[in-house]
C-alpha cells in the first residue's frame, strides 16, 4: 500500500467507514462485477454502490464491498466527492480530485479511481437513459447478487 | 521430530533448488517464493528435459498403435522395454504406489478426470449412497452432486469432530444405517492438510462390503502411499502436484473392478464401465458393435498426452531419488516452524485462526489461516508485490464446507468491518526456512500497514 493510502485507511479504521452501508430502494445500483469494471484486480474483490437521486442531485450514496484497503479508500473518497452534487457535476469527477482528497500520490489508488469513475458513469448513463425509472427493490438486488456470485468464479 | 526421519540437508536442498529453473527467476531483484504447492508444483529440469526429448526426438504416438521407430521409442518409455533395460512410466508409477499390476494404472488428465471415471462408470443402483467427508474439493463433490441431481445416488458426508479430525464413530454409524455403496473421500484435505485415517476407514468400509475411492491429490505427492497395504479400491491423483507436467493424472483401480470382458454388459456389477470410448479403447469394431480392450487401455481414449505420461515417470523418479520420507519431513519441519511463529504472533488476537488441527504434524505441508479484519482481502496480492511470495486466497474449491462454516454469501459485499478471508500456505520439499521467514516478515509488514497489529 502507498503511504498516503495507509494514512487515509488508518483514519477510516479509527473514525469508521462513514459511507459504508446499503439503501433500501436505491435510484441507482452499481456493481463492479456486473459492469465488469476492474477496480480491484483480485478475484472475488467487488463493490456495490447504492445511490438515491432527487431532482438530479445525489442525496445519499452508500456502498458495500469485499475488497482490499486501497479499493475501500477509493470508494469512500468517491462517496465524499459526489454526495450532494448534481449527476452532471458528479460525472466529471477526475482522478486528480481523488488524489487531492487523499492528500498524496498513489498510482494504485488512481487506477482504482479511474475504475470507479468508469463504473459510476456507466451506471449514470443507464439511469439517465431510462429515467423516470422505478427504484430497484431489494429483491431485484438480491437476484443480481445471486447471478454475480456465479459469475465471480471464486476459486 | 523423530531422529530416524532423514532430513534434507542444506547441501542437498541447495542442489535440489538448482534443478528448478523457475527458482532462478528474479523480479525487482528478488527471487520467487512459491508457497502454492497444493495448487500445482514447480517443475525440475529433469522433467522439462523429458518433455523436450519427446518433442525433439520421437514426437509420435504410443500405446503400440504404430510399428515404427518413433512410435516404439514412445511406447517403450511409457510401457517399458525390459530388453532395452527401459522402465516405462506406467511401471514407475505402479512401483511408486505399490500396485500389483501396471494394468491397474490408468492415465487421466488429472484427479478430477480420474474421479469422474469412477463416478460415471460405477454401476449404481437406485437408492445407493455415496459417502464423503465434510471438506471435499469440488472435484470430489460436483461429480456426485450431478448424479444425485439425476436421481441416481444420494449423497451423505461424515462430519469432523470438534477438533476437526475424522470421526470414525460417525463413519460407522453412517455405514450401518445408510445404504452406502461407495465411500469417496479426500485422503488429505486441500483446505486444512489433515490426512484421514484411510486404512481404518477402508477396513471398516470393507467389513460392510463397501468400496472406497481415495482422492489422493494432496497425499500421494507428500508421503508414501501403498495401495496394497491400504487395500484401497480406487485412488486418484495428479502428477502436476508432484513436480510433473500439467495435464496428467492417475486413476489406480483394483484389477477386478476395471473389467476384462469384451463387452460392458458381460461384466459383473462391481466393474466400472469406461465412459469415454473411441480410438485406442477397442480391439475391433463392425458397423454394429465393438469389442473393448483390456484395462487400462479401455479407459484411455484417443491420442494421449505422451510427453506428459513419459515426463510423469521422470517426476516420480525425481521424488524417489529425494525420498518420500525426506519430503514429508521437510514439509513437516517448515510447517511446524510457521505454525509456531504465526500462533506466537497472532494466536491471541481473536482475528487470526488456523484451520484444521493446531498440531502442524497433522496438516502435512498445508497451513490455512483465516483473517477476520476489515478489508481482509488482497493480502496474497500484497505478498506477491512486496516480496514475490506466492500464496493462495479464496475458497480453495471447498465452497460447500466454507459456506456452512461462515454462511452462504460470506464472500459477497458487506460492511468492511465484517470481512474475512482465508489464506493458504502450501509447502513442498524445495521450500526453505529462509523463505518462510520472508513470508512471515512480509505478512507482518502488511498487517502493520493495515493496523491489524
Ligand atoms: C483434494 C483435491 N482433490 C482434487 C483436486 C483436483 O485436482 P486437479 O485439478 O489436478 O484435477 C485438488 C486440486 O487442488 C485437490 O486439492
- B170 to chain A, minimum CA–CA distance in Å? 30
Question: pLDDT band at A32, cuts 50/70/90?
Answer: confident
**Mean pLDDT across B231-244:** 98
* Residue A154 confidence (pLDDT) above 50: no
Class of the domain covering B51-319: alpha beta
pLDDT tens digit sequence for B15-66: 999 999 999 999 999 999 999 999 999 999 999 999 999 999 999 998 777 7
- pLDDT at res. B3: 46
Residue B355 distance to chain A (closest CA, Å): 17
| pLDDT score at A123 | 85
Whole-number pLDDT of residue A131: 59
- Nearest neighbour of A69 by CB, restricted to B375, B393, B411: B375
User: What is the tens place of the pLDDT at every residue in B277-308?
Assistant: 999 999 999 999 999 999 999 999 999 999 99
What residue owns the CA closest to ligand 1's atom 13?
Answer: B39
Angle between helices A107-130 and A3-15 (to 10 degrees): 60
Please, which pLDDT band fits residue A53 given cuts at 50, 70 and 90?
very high
Instruction: Report, as an integer, the average pLDDT of B69-89.
Output: 93
pLDDT of amino acid B156: 98
B338 closest CA partner among B324, B322, B352: B352
Partner residue facing B413 (CB), from A43, A65, A70: A65
- Residue A138 confidence (pLDDT) above 70: no
Alpha carbons A80 and B439: distance in angstroms, whole number: 36
pLDDT at A150 over 60: no
| Whether the CB of B215 sits within 6 Å of ligand 1 | yes
Spatial separation of the C-alpha atoms in residues B312 and B315, rounded to whole Å:
5
B217 close to ligand 1 (CB < 6 Angstrom): yes
Is there a contact between B378 and A45 if contact means CB atoms under 8 Å apart?
yes
Cβ B133 under 6 angstroms from ligand 1:
no
Cβ of B190 closer than 6 Å to ligand 1, yes or no, is yes
In order of A35, A69, A97, A106, B413, the CA distances from A109 in angstroms are: 19, 10, 12, 5, 20
Any idea which fold A3-154 has?
Sufe protein. Chain: A (3.90.1010)
CB contact under 8 A, A48 and B413: yes
Mean pLDDT, chain B, as a whole number? 95
A38-49 per-position pLDDT tens digit? 665 555 568 999
How far is Cα B285 from Cα A28, in angstroms, rounded to an integer? 63
List, in sequence order, every residue forming a beta bridge with B336; answer none if it has no partner.
Answer: none
CATH assignment, B10-40+323-449 = 3.90.1150.10
Q: Do B381 and A21 touch (CB under 8 A)?
A: no
**Mean pLDDT on B119-146:** 97
In whole angstroms, what is the distance from residue B226 CA to residue B98 CA? Answer: 5
Q: Cα–Cα distance between B114 and B268 in angstroms, integer? A: 21
Give the list of residues 6+ apart from residue B247 with CB closer than 8 angstroms, or none: B109, B110, B240, B305, B308
Q: Mean per-residue pLDDT for B178-202? A: 98
Q: Where are the domains of chain B?
A: 10-40+323-449, 51-319
Identify the band that residue A133 occupies on the pLDDT scale cut at 50, 70 and 90: very low
- Tell me the average pLDDT across B420-434: 97
B224-235 pLDDT per residue, tens:
999 999 999 999
- What chain B residue is nearest to A146 in terms of C-alpha separation? B409
What is residue A126's predicted lDDT score, i.e. its pLDDT?
82
Suggest the residue from A42, A75, A143 to mutate for an interface test with chain B (most B CBs closer than 10 A). Answer: A42
pTM: 0.92
Among candidates B378, B399, B417 on the partner chain, residue whose Cβ is nearest the Cβ of A42: B378
Pocket test for ligand 1, best of B117, B139, B225 (most atoms within 8 A of CB): B139
Hey, CA dihedral for B83, B84, B88, B94, is it positive or negative?
A: positive
A127 reaches B (C-beta below 8 A): no
Q: Do B414 and A154 touch (CB under 8 A)?
A: no
- Rounded mean pLDDT, A71-97: 94
ipTM: 0.81
Amino acid at each position: 500500500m502507498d503511504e498516503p493510502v495507509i494514512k487515509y485507511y488508518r483514519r477510516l479504521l479509527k473514525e469508521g467507514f462513514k459511507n459504508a452501508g446499503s439503501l433500501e430502494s436505491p435510484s441507482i445500483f452499481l456493481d463492479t462485477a456486473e459492469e465488469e469494471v476492474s477496480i480491484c484486480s483480485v478475484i472475488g474483490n467487488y463493490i456495490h454502490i447504492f445511490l438515491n437521486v432527487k431532482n438530479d442531485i445525489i442525496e445519499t450514496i452508500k456502498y458495500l464491498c469485499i475488497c482490499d484497503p486501497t479499493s475501500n479508500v477509493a470508494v469512500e473518497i468517491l462517496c465524499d466527492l459526489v454526495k450532494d452534487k448534481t449527476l452532471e457535476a458528479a460525472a466529471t469527477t477526475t482522478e486528480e480530485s481523488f488524489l487531492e482528497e487523499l492528500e498524496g500520490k498513489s498510482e494504485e489508488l488512481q487506477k482504482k479511481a479511474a475504475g470507479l469513475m468508469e463504473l459510476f458513469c456507466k451506471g449514470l448513463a443507464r439511469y439517465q437513459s431510462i429515467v423516470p425509472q422505478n427504484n430497484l427493490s431489494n429483491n431485484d438486488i438480491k437476484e443480481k447478487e445471486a447471478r454475480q456470485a456465479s459469475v465471480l468464479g471464486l476459486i | 521430530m523423530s531422529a530416524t526421519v532423514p532430513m534434507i540437508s542444506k547441501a542437498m536442498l541447495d542442489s535440489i533448488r538448482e534443478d528448478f529453473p523457475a527458482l532462478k527467476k528474479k523480479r525487482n531483484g528478488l527471487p520467487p517464493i512459491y508457497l502454492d504447492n497444493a495448487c500445482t508444483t514447480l517443475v525440475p529440469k529433469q522433467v522439462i528435459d523429458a518433455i523436450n526429448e519427446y518433442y525433439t526426438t520421437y514426437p509420435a504416438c504410443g500405446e503400440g498403435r504404430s510399428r515404427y521407430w518413433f512410435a516404439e521409442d514412445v511406447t517403450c518409455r511409457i510401457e517399458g522395454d525390459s530388453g532395452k533395460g527401459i522402465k516405462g512410466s506406467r511401471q514407475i508409477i505402479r512401483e511408486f504406489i505399490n500396485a500389483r499390476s501396471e494394468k491397474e494404472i490408468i492415465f487421466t488428465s488429472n484427479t478430477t478426470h480420474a474421479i469422474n471415471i469412477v463416478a460415471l462408470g460405477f454401476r449404481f443402483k437406485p437408492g445407493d449412497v455415496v459417502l464423503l467427508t465434510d471438506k471435499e474439493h469440488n472435484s470430489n463433490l460436483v461429480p456426485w452432486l450431478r448424479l444425485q441431481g439425476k436421481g441416481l445416488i444420494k449423497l451423505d458426508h461424515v462430519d469432523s469432530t470438534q477438533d476437526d479430525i475424522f470421526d470414525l464413530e460417525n463413519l460407522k454409524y453412517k455405514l450401518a444405517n445408510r445404504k452406502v455403496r461407495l465411500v469417496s473421500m479426500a485422503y488429505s484435505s486441500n483446505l486444512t492438510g489433515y490426512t484421514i485415517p484411510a486404512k481404518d476407514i477402508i477396513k471398516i468400509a470393507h467389513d460392510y462390503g463397501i468400496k472406497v475411492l481415495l482422492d489422493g491429490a494432496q497425499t500421494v505427492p507428500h508421503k508414501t502411499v501403498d495401495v496394497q497395504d491400504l487395500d484401497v479400491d480406487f485412488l486418484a491423483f495428479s502428477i502436476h502436484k508432484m513436480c510433473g507436467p500439467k495435464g496428467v493424472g492417475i486413476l489406480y483401480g483394483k484389477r477386478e473392478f476395471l473389467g476384462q470382458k469384451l463387452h460392458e454388459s458381460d461384466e459383473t456389477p462391481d466393474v466400472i464401465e469406461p465412459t469415454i470410448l473411441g480410438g485406442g479403447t477397442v480391439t475391433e469394431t463392425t458397423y454394429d458393435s465393438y469389442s473393448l480392450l483390456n484395462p487400462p487401455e479401455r479407459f484411455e481414449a484417443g491420442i494421449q498426452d505422451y510427453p506428459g505420461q513419459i515426463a510423469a515417470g521422470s517426476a516420480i523418479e525425481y521424488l524417489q531419488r529425494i525420498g518420500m520420507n525426506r519430503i514429508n519431513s521437510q514439509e513437516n519441519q517448515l510447517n511446524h516452524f510457521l505454525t509456531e511463529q504465526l500462533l506466537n504472533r497472532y494466536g491471541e488476537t481473536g482475528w487470526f485462526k488456523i484451520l484444521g488441527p493446531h498440531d502442524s504434524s497433522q496438516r502435512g505441508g498445508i497451513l490455512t489461516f483465516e483473517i477476520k479484519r476489515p478489508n481482509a482481502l488482497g493480502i496474497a496480492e500484497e505478498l506477491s508485490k512486496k516480496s514475490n511470495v506466492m500464496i493462495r486466497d479464496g475458497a480453495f474449491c471447498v465452497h460447500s464446507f466454507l459456506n456452512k462454516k461462515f454462511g452462504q454469501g460470506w464472500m459477497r459485499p458487506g460492511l468492511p468491518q465484517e470481512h474475512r478471508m482465508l489464506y493458504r500456505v502450501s509447502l513442498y520439499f524445495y521450500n526453505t526456512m529462509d523463505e518462510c521467514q520472508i513470508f512471515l516478515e512480509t505478512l507482518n509488514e502488511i498487517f502493520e500497514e493495515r493496523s491489524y497489529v
